[in-house]
Structure 1
Amino acid sequence: MTTSTAPTWFSSPAEAARRLDAVGYLTDTPTATTAYLAGALEKPLLLEGPAGVGKTELAKAVARATGAELIRLQCYEGLDEARALYEWNYKKQLLRIQATNADQDWEQTHDDIFTDEFLLTRPLLTAIRRSEPTVLLIDEVDKTDVEVEGLLLEILSDFQVTIPELGTVEAVRRPFVILTSNASRELSEAVKRRCLYLHIAYPEAARETEIVRSHVPEISDRLAGQLVAMIGRLRELELKKAPSIAESVDWARTLVALQIGKLDDAAVTRTLGVVLKHHSDHERAIRELKLAR
């Protein structure tokens, strides 16, 4: 039976907010509460929202705040069990078979080559087997094929993995699991049932200004406010890729580095490449916001 020797990750929502703030992740009440509950209830946390709102960064912040190891499974189309869970080191097994005494029968050889020595663990199995505090980040799960969700169900339900040649591997210490999704496709209800859920949207202007100021303390309050207001206007346009929070911070660092004290049209046009990464987005922003080239 799976056991858990891990203490509660956070003692309360307030403590979660304080410790996450201390490592540079400014939270709101829903985020701090859900992070606390994910640890207290030992349930996976599904974070959904547009790209660039801090979903992945929350997993990193939990790891930093708790001193846990972060293990990341980056999802993509075509991801399979061998890349997500485990595979056998076939070359090493072949060398062992060739080196084995010819008098040894196949059953003995089989038992010899299907051991931990020949097992290549991937992120999911690695996280399950660790006895130390672990944050497992399953990033952009909506990019995987639907079939991969079946693999995740066993992990998220019982925190165990079945390896036919070795048997069932059960978690000694449950990891803090965070799944992120940009909502490019609907996840199955079976996966959602096993998770706590939190939708993260772009922060309000006041909170984003606070985030920018915390990361770039050299920037003035006035310039930070102008920057965040312009970011808000850009996000209202129909862009291929709206500016993320990280790009807001990068823009602030850029303005400080260039010693720009006022974000006028000329300054925006000059530095727009920091926040918009598609030529069509540049053209739309210049046209819609009536910026001088």
Structure 2
Amino acid sequence: MTEAARPVPGSIDETMEMLTGADYVADRALATVLFLSLRMQRPLFLEGEAGVGKTEIAKVLASGLGRRLIRLQCYEGLDVSSAVYEWNYAAQMIEIRMEEAVGEVDRRDMERNVFSEKYLIRRPVLDALTGKADAAPIFLIDELDRTDEAFEAFLLEILSDFQVTVPELGTIKAEEPPIVIITSNRTREIHDALKRRCLYHWVDYPDAGRELEIVRRKVPHANSRLSAEVVGFIQKLREVDLFKAPGVAETIDWASALTELDKVALDPETVSDTIGVLLKYQDDIARIQQGEGRRLLKEVKAELSAAE
């Protein structure tokens, strides 16, 4: 084991402690499936709306276990050369020219030389398969739903056998499988063949109590009344039929922005002026600014007053 690497948690409670220690406020269901994923060495497939904290789980694991975080950010058109490996063609050509300049060379020796590890550029997938025993990295495959089905099918070999074939070098197999976290915003369905290789968890929006605890941890300098009103407003905002409801990331951003403005409570003008921190589509913003925001804020303040 490397000096920084730490063993995986030995129980669900230890998993909860690890998450909490990194200020990640999780429910027990998430801690359970994460514990099982670590103990069973199975990839963890996380689905949920954007901004609910899926990617953050991989970052917390890397910090809590003292492992490297290797991130493959998925996008449309992602191919093997960008995700797995490619050859440093410029350096190879220079090497070939230099050997030819020396004089007569054995072409087989030249081929073995230029197609060696020295000229191999490791992309995230191959990098994730070269971790040492007891110190395997955290491999985050982020927003898999953005790729096409061809790349998704390519991942099946990786997730089944944790190996990849480089034709010029042969098959490279992980000494120890990486800890794999896959996220999806569910813009399209991921094939069942890939899901079967993973443990699954739907990361939902937190309830009011958990979201308030998140704000208190992430924005500790925010006024307590302001934090309660922010969380109450966003909880109600998610019940409105919007194109894109705000995630937890937006909750934290809004609380931070309001704190920067020295606000201690919400008012209609402040909501209207700062709504762009929460909502990113003009139709949603217009709806809130045209009266919906005032109604929601009035309900929030009434409920908080009644609870005092």
Same fold by TM (over 0.5)?
A: yes
Contact 2:12 2:32 (C-alpha < 8 Å) held by counterparts? yes
Task: Report the equivalent of 1:22.
Answer: 21
- 1:1-293 residue pairs with structure 2 within 5 A? 9-101=8-100, 102-131=103-132, 132-287=135-290, 289=292, 291=294
Return the alpha-carbon distance in structure 2 between the equivalents of residues 61 and 175 of structure 1.
Answer: 15
Contact 2:128 2:139 (C-alpha < 8 Å) held by counterparts? yes
Return the alpha-carbon distance in structure 2 between the equivalents of residues 134 and 290 of structure 1.
Answer: 45
Return the alpha-carbon distance in structure 1 between the equivalents of residues 261 and 162 of structure 2.
Answer: 50
1:38-62 deviation digits (Å, cap 9, x = unpaired): 1100000000011010000111111
Contact 2:271 2:293 (C-alpha < 8 Å) held by counterparts? no
- AA at the equivalent of 1:66: L
Return the alpha-carbon distance in structure 2 between the equivalents of residues 59 and 209 of structure 1.
Answer: 22
1:126-177 deviation digits (Å, cap 9, x = unpaired): 0101213310000000100100012211110011111111011111122110
Contact 1:8 1:40 (C-alpha < 8 Å) held by counterparts? no
Task: Compute the displacement of 1:260 (Å).
Answer: 1.5
Task: Compute the displacement of 1:22 (Å).
Answer: 0.5
Return the alpha-carbon distance in structure 2 between the equivalents of residues 226 and 216 of structure 1.
Answer: 14
- AA at the equivalent of 1:127: A
Return the alpha-carbon distance in structure 1 between the equivalents of residues 119 and 15 of structure 2.
Answer: 40
- AA at the equivalent of 1:143: R
Return the alpha-carbon distance in structure 2 between the equivalents of residues 288 and 165 of structure 1.
Answer: 65
SS in 1 for 2:129: helix
Return the alpha-carbon distance in structure 2 between the equivalents of residues 251 and 189 of structure 1.
Answer: 37
Which stretch of the first structure deviates more once superposed, 77-86 or 26-35? 26-35
Contact 2:45 2:183 (C-alpha < 8 Å) held by counterparts? yes
Contact 2:223 2:259 (C-alpha < 8 Å) held by counterparts? no
Return the alpha-carbon distance in structure 2 between the equivalents of residues 253 and 99 of structure 1.
Answer: 58
SS in 2 for 1:289: helix
Return the alpha-carbon distance in structure 2 between the equivalents of residues 224 and 290 of structure 1.
Answer: 17
Task: Compute the displacement of 1:7 (Å).
Answer: 7.6
Return the alpha-carbon distance in structure 1 between the equivalents of residues 80 and 293 of structure 2.
Answer: 50
TM-score normalized with structure 1 length: 0.93
Task: Compute the displacement of 1:290 (Å).
Answer: 5.1
Which stretch of the first structure deviates more once superposed, 132-141 or 253-262? 253-262
- AA at the equivalent of 1:62: L
Return the alpha-carbon distance in structure 1 between the equivalents of residues 200 and 114 of structure 2.
Answer: 42
Return the alpha-carbon distance in structure 1 between the equivalents of residues 189 and 272 of structure 2.
Answer: 37
Which stretch of the first structure deviates more once superposed, 283-292 or 109-118? 283-292
- Structure 1 unaligned spans of 5+: 1-5
SS in 2 for 1:173: coil
Return the alpha-carbon distance in structure 2 between the equivalents of residues 213 and 227 of structure 1.
Answer: 11
SS in 2 for 1:179: strand
Task: Compute the displacement of 1:111 (Å).
Answer: 1.0
Contact 1:154 1:160 (C-alpha < 8 Å) held by counterparts? yes
Which stretch of the first structure deviates more once superposed, 98-107 or 120-129? 98-107
Contact 2:87 2:119 (C-alpha < 8 Å) held by counterparts? yes
Task: Compute the displacement of 1:228 (Å).
Answer: 0.9
Contact 1:237 1:285 (C-alpha < 8 Å) held by counterparts? no
- Structure 2 unaligned spans of 5+: 296-308
Return the alpha-carbon distance in structure 2 between the equivalents of residues 272 and 149 of structure 1.
Answer: 37
